[in-house]
Structure formats: C-alpha cells, structure tokens
Amino acid sequence: MRTALCTGPDRPPKFGPLDGQRWVCPDAIGVLSFMYKPPMQKLRVVIVSPALADANNGNWQTARRWQGLLSPHSARIVRQWPDAQAGDDQVMLALHARRSADSVQAWHAQRSQRGLGVVLTGTDLYRDIAHDPQAQNSLTLAQSLVVLQGLGIASLPPEHKPKARVIFQSTGQRQTLPKTARHLRVVMVGHLREEKDPLTLMSAARLLPHGSGILIDHIGAPLDPALGEAAKATQAQCPHYRWLGALPHAQTLQRIQRAHLLVHTSRMEGGAHVLMEAICSGTPVLASRIDGNMGLLGADYAGVFEPGDARGLADRLLACRERVGGPAVMAHLQHQCALRAPLFEPQAERAALHRWVQDLWTL
C-alpha cells in the first residue's frame, strides 16, 4: 500500500487515485519520517505520575502506556520521588509541572538538569504556568519539556519554547463496529468535573427536540457531586440522554466504536486521549474550539463549537442527523479524522518517546 500525503483538506494526492493508498495529513509527515530504532544504551527511567492505577485518569493512562513503550529501557512509575530505589534512576519523566513539582525540585537538587524531563498537562499550559510558582519553577528546572498536542508550545513563555517538543499520544487502530441507521448515537467520555464542562452537553441535550433521533450516552464518574446530580436531573427530564457513570475501559471503547459521534466539551485540555481513541475507531468528533482540541484535530477541522455553547453543539448534532445534508456532513468529518489518524499510531509515539529519553541522557 502506498502512502499519499494530502495537499489540503479536500484535494486528492497528485500521483493517482486513492485506491490502495493512505492519504496522510501534512502534520503527520514529521511523525512518520523516522522509524523506531533500539536504544543505544539501556537506561533506568522513572516516570512520576501524580495519579496511579486507583485514579485511572489521563495521567495514569499515559504513565502506564509509556512504561510499556519504553522497553527495553527499565521504566517504573512512582507518585513521589525520591524513594528507596531512586539511586539507580538515570532519567526522570515528570507528568504535570505543578503536581510533580516537589519531585522535579528534588531531582534537580541532587542531579541538576541532566535527565530531567517534564510533561505539561492542560491545567499546566492553560492555567498554572501563568501564576503558580511551583509550575513555573518546574519549567525552569527541566532540561526538556513535552506537550501532547500541536498548539501546546505556543502557550509557553518565550524563554522555554526552545527546549519544548510535541509528542502525540497513541492508540491502536480499532475496527469500526456496525452503527445503527435508526438513530444518531452520540457518546461523551470524561469524568464529571469543571474542566470537562459536562453542563454544556446536558444543556445541549435539553435543547434537542423530542423525536430528533439523537441518543446521547454520557460516561464518567461524578468527581464533582453537584455535576453528578445535574446528570441525574438531565436524565430524568430528557429520555434521549443517559448518564452511565464510570465504565471499564474496554466497555467504553466499544461504545465509542459503535457511536456515530464522540462529543468533547472541555474548556481546558492538554491533549485528550479519548479524541484519539475515537479517531482511530472511525468515529468522528464534535469538540469545543480550544487549543487542546484543535492541536489534535487540526486548525481546519469542521466539527467544532465554541466552549460553553450548548446551542452551537445542539445545532451541529441536528445537522449531522438531517436526512438531506447529514450524510455529507458526517462523511466530511470522518474524512478529516482519517487524515489525522497516522499521528496517533503507537509506532510514532514509541519513536518520539525513545528519542526524547536518549536526548535527555546524552545532550
């Protein structure tokens, strides 16, 4: 199979028809331009994550995935550093500039900058580094910084931009499961907390007319109890909205695969993994127009609404359901998502992660 590089959102490759080829977004060229090579030296890497398996949130999922991708390096995950095994660690990857600040400072005090990498989350980029001294200090102490979506570096102070790089997270390609034609099934995945803005989805659900043929499943634990109560109230008043609470990851993936659309309403994101899971499952996305989403979806992505705009979200859902124009809208969103999918291949993340670790140790 040949791989074609797209020259625009609606222009085909110059060298022939699409049959037997993959059409790849230009942003993916840099990701696909090198292949993974085994590390020159096996290193001991410590990943500092403020959340471990009990939280099952984005930080933990990233830490666990990176632990596997870093093989044959030896990688371990801790909540706080140093610990009893700290003496053997050669490279630190600290997730979250503010919440891992104590570990970052401890590493720098013992070993200076060498081997010290910090990964910036959405709350780091779009809140904490503007005013929090601990987060700001982590930026200064780090040898290298990583953001998880293409617009993240733009939010850094100018003095720190030269030592920052983008590493897109990954997820495996998944089969697109059969989707019913009887209605438009929509899913939103994210724990109920302020940053995820679940109230916008609930408000949009209330704006949908009865008999619209749009069914919404909302997955996520009520980290904010008040938002959990709001979800219960919305479910009682809107038969087309269901709050399913927290579900195991495998069940959540199945629901994403069977949905026609994934909705993502966040006000603040560093690079939501659920967007990649949807894209790589063949499920298009409707997302809030924030940097954390646009840095994954691309600046020209059509399926966006303004943050907090419930009416805008409802209108886009209805446009996707229209008998006449809906199929064309859905096909365009699916096409745009397919162009982004190569960015999120595990091989690309593995190569970028190994290159970062080697640079932290050798540069």
159-207, pLDDT tens digit by residue?
999 999 999 999 988 888 888 889 999 999 999 999 999 999 999 999 9
Percent of the chain with pLDDT over 90: 80
Domain residues for the domain of 147 are: 44-170+346-362
- The pLDDT value recorded for residue 55 is 63
- The pLDDT value recorded for residue 37 is 58
CA 110, CA 1: separation in Å to the nearest integer?
51
Percent of the chain with pLDDT over 70: 88
Q: What is the pLDDT of residues 34-77, one digit of tens each?
A: 445 555 689 999 999 997 776 667 788 899 999 999 999 999 99
Clarify whether residues 330 and 350 are in a common domain. Answer: no
Clarify whether residues 90 and 209 are in a common domain. Answer: no
Clarify whether residues 275 and 300 are in a common domain. Answer: yes
- The pLDDT value recorded for residue 21 is 36
CA atoms within 13 A on the CB side of 304: 21
CA 249, CA 87: separation in Å to the nearest integer?
35
Partners of 188 in beta bridges = 218, 263
State mean pLDDT over 142-152: 97
Number of CB atoms found within 10 A of residue 121's CB: 28
Domain count, the chain: 2
Clarify whether residues 213 and 266 are in a common domain. Answer: yes
CA 171, CA 68: separation in Å to the nearest integer?
13
Rg (CA), the chain: 21
Q: What is the pLDDT of residues 113-130, one digit of tens each?
A: 999 999 999 999 999 999
Clarify whether residues 141 and 258 are in a common domain. Answer: no
Clarify whether residues 193 and 339 are in a common domain. Answer: yes
- The pLDDT value recorded for residue 47 is 98
Clarify whether residues 142 and 216 are in a common domain. Answer: no
Output 30 or 10, whichever has higher pLDDT. 30
Q: Domain with 116 in it: what CATH number?
A: 3.40.50.2000
Cβ proximity of 64 and 30 under 8 Å: no
Q: Return the DSSP state at 40.
A: S
Q: Is the peptide bond before 307 cis (omega within 30 degrees of 0)?
A: no
In 150-234, where do the E strands start and end?
164-166, 184-189, 214-219
CA 64, CA 73: separation in Å to the nearest integer?
14
Cβ proximity of 129 and 152 under 8 Å: no
| Residue 123 maps to a domain | yes
- The pLDDT value recorded for residue 178 is 84
Clarify whether residues 120 and 211 are in a common domain. Answer: no
Which residue is associated with the tokens 């989350």?
121
CA 190, CA 281: separation in Å to the nearest integer?
17
Q: Is the peptide bond before 162 cis (omega within 30 degrees of 0)?
A: no
| Residue 14 maps to a domain | no
| Residue 261 maps to a domain | yes
CA atoms within 13 A on the CB side of 14: 3
- For residue 234, give the H/E element and its range: helix 225-237
Instruction: Please name the residue ranges forming H helices in 71-130.
Output: 101-111, 122-126
| Ramachandran class of 56: left when φ > 0, alpha when ψ lies in -120 to 50, beta otherwise | left
- The pLDDT value recorded for residue 36 is 52
Please check the confidence at residue 153 and state whether its pLDDT lies above 90.
Answer: yes
Q: What is the pLDDT of residues 289-335, one digit of tens each?
A: 999 999 999 999 999 999 999 999 999 999 999 988 999 999 999 99
Clarify whether residues 335 and 357 are in a common domain. Answer: no
| Ramachandran class of 245: left when φ > 0, alpha when ψ lies in -120 to 50, beta otherwise | left
Q: Residue 233 corresponds to which tokens in the numbers above?
A: 């109230």
Q: Residue 178 corresponds to which tokens in the numbers above?
A: 């059969």
